Amino acid sequence: MINPSANGWIDKFFQENKTNFIDYNHQYDSFYFDIRKSGFVYGHTLTLNLKEPFSLEGLSNDEVTKLALLNALYSIYRIAKKEPTKEAFLKTVEQFYNTILLDNYAFLKAFLPSGSTTSKLESIFANRIQTNDNFFSKSFSHILTNALLFIDVLAFNSFLENNTLSPKYLKDLELTCIKIITLAFHIKTNKSKYDVHLVKLFENSIRYTKFATIEHPTLNNINFDHFKYDIEKLYLLDVTEMAIWSDATLEYTELEFLNDIIRKTKLSDDKLHESLSTINWFISNYKNEIPYFNYSHPVKHFYDQTNRTVTKLITRNKKRLTKEIKESKELMYLLAKSTNKELSAEEKKKVKKQLLDICKTIPSLTIFLLPGGGILLPILIKYIPQLLPSAFNENLDD
């Protein structure tokens, strides 16, 4: 039995599955079909894509996701490389994550072990999937965290093809993903206040382009031409469907929107049918196991639960957070100004950047810098006035 929460689980996984890995014979479509059906693309993994069934009994969702991410990365490696080996794969995937850490999560490097490649990767996987008290899996109901992990797989494929990873690739993929999901919410005929809140949270969830703003995106100004592989386009389609499925219905305008995506991405019509059939089958059969779909209004639950959890986190770190904020004169000035007038785009970027810098200094708040953590930032900003002394708030009224 493999325990992905204990040291050595990566080596044990490879040892137990030496002849159990699927040979996709360089077929990306077959790989994507399997990984979509496994639930990994939807953020709720049910099975691992192996020749023989692999027991996941007794494992937590986080532990299953670690195994699924490792297996997905190895599968894409086997597709891209003619003579794949475990040792070469582990070395390459470590180089890949070091590239990402260098540009986006340098602060995490201090917490990574200095031992073997596998021990480093185990820590990296834990940091990308787990946070304090299993925060993301409890609060985000999988739609914005584990589902976005497939971006790692797509980026790794790009890394393998080019022997490097272009920052532009990550930015383009993530920004397109967020834009298209935002558009999916916007076209809903019947939107509640929670749908509006969630749209705003999506727009602030950028990981690789943290301080970018998305202003009135349209499908026409989204460039799909730089996505070479169908699996990239299919992933964008599937994530869009997840956003649309929040109310368990598919309206005419939503179906037309999906057809527009098919035309823009130059995917065949049968790809849309296959995608819709799979998500319908997945949700119909496993809805009771997926927290996101277990509420009368999942968007409302998402927003309320996230709000409560972030509030609790902020309250626990109130003194330290207040001290750090007060030490930044520019940040204090901008926060005060924001209560009386709208900040410019540049000023908003400064507020976000300085708040994220503060979060780096408080271990409990490093969640704001992890995948999906940007979604929490608007809630943090919302509660800042309550953190500051009453004298400060009185001055704001002046």
Other residues' Cβ atoms within 10 Å of the Cβ of residue 337: 15
Give the 3-state secondary structure of residue 21. Answer: strand
Distances (CA, A) of 115 to 8, 112, 121, 208: 12, 9, 10, 28
- Rounded Cα gap, residues 396 and 64, in angstroms: 49
Same domain, residue pair 91 and 144 = yes
Same domain, residue pair 321 and 244 = no
Query: Are residues 10 and 91 in contact, defined by beta-carbon separation less than 8 angstroms?
Result: no
The answer to whether residue 305 is domain-embedded is no
The answer to whether residue 302 is domain-embedded is no
Query: Are residues 201 and 178 in contact, defined by beta-carbon separation less than 8 angstroms?
Result: no
Same domain, residue pair 282 and 321 = no
Give the 3-state secondary structure of residue 52. Answer: coil
- Rounded Cα gap, residues 11 and 208, in angstroms: 30
The answer to whether residue 140 is domain-embedded is yes
Q: Running along the chain, 398 residues long, what does each successive block of 10 average in pLDDT?
A: 90 94 91 94 90 91 91 95 88 89 50 71 80 38 59 93 84 81 78 66 52 61 87 92 74 90 94 93 81 61 68 80 84 78 81 81 70 64 66 44
The answer to whether residue 343 is domain-embedded is yes
pLDDT at 96: 92
The answer to whether residue 165 is domain-embedded is no
pLDDT at 137: 37
Same domain, residue pair 280 and 348 = no
Same domain, residue pair 184 and 131 = no
Other residues' Cβ atoms within 10 Å of the Cβ of residue 57: 5
Same domain, residue pair 267 and 324 = no
Q: Which domain holds residue 390?
A: 317-397
Which among 315, 313, 333 is positioned nearest to 376, based on CA atoms? 313
Same domain, residue pair 355 and 289 = no
The answer to whether residue 329 is domain-embedded is yes
Same domain, residue pair 218 and 108 = no
pLDDT at 286: 83
pLDDT at 135: 38
Same domain, residue pair 148 and 192 = no
pTM of the predicted protein model = 0.72
Q: How far is CA 175 from the centre of its chain?
A: 12
Tally of domains in the chain: 3
pLDDT at 371: 52
Burial class (CB in 10 A: 0-12, 13-18, 19+), 117: middle
